[in-house]
Structure 1
């Protein structure tokens, strides 16, 4: 019994930490926020103990209230991502998915797209995987397929 309550607490902490960088709805553009953490924290009363808190929050309710789950099918959605790496003309953008996406940097305003810039991308596929010549199984390229839409502002 103590192991189950410990596991529930670990899942709750992991969801609270990951909700800071996960995409949630904000109009038509999904943006990082800590809504899941605040909703999980508001379910417990201020004077309750940790033992009470563990019994109130289940994994099913955490999964149901997760912003990534509430987003639905991400294909075709416009999301906000952050440029975390720039190599020549390639922008590596983290939008909160399983893998980051790699997009070409626009040729006109190259200096605007540096590390830390928030950009808009439209998701085409969360994972690029294909069956390459000579292989029976599909191989993943460990990146998502997105269309670069420009800066956030």
Structure 2
């Protein structure tokens, strides 16, 4: 086998890949996290010193094992995050009364309480009309038609 021994030393990036290919049990999470996959593959495909095909194949095997470990770590982190989100978003009380989700038989808008009431007639806005301008009179409604006709004051 022809390769530079400094190329596969423990401290080098290809040394970590070699260790992943041959000694998976010695591979630590910190080694996996700091390994840059694309840069490592470029070093294997275009080495500074010639590498035997068997060695480059085994180094690529190490790259795939490191990539697999990175995916496993990402999957574990995602599962932890997702379970924490589910716990945080879990509803406290899911019991809802029937009246809370159904409309009453008769809907009375005047009987509803909307909190603070605002009198629109006392507003100083110039774009507000009086109650008589906004109300239809009984003589404008035609009973024969199925459509309602009304007269808008001020419109041509």
Identify the TM-score tier after normalising by the shorter chain: under 0.3
Q: Larger % of helix: which?
A: 2
The TM-score with structure 2 as length reference comes to 0.20
Q: Larger % of strand: which?
A: 1
Between structure 1 and structure 2, the one with the greater Rg is 2
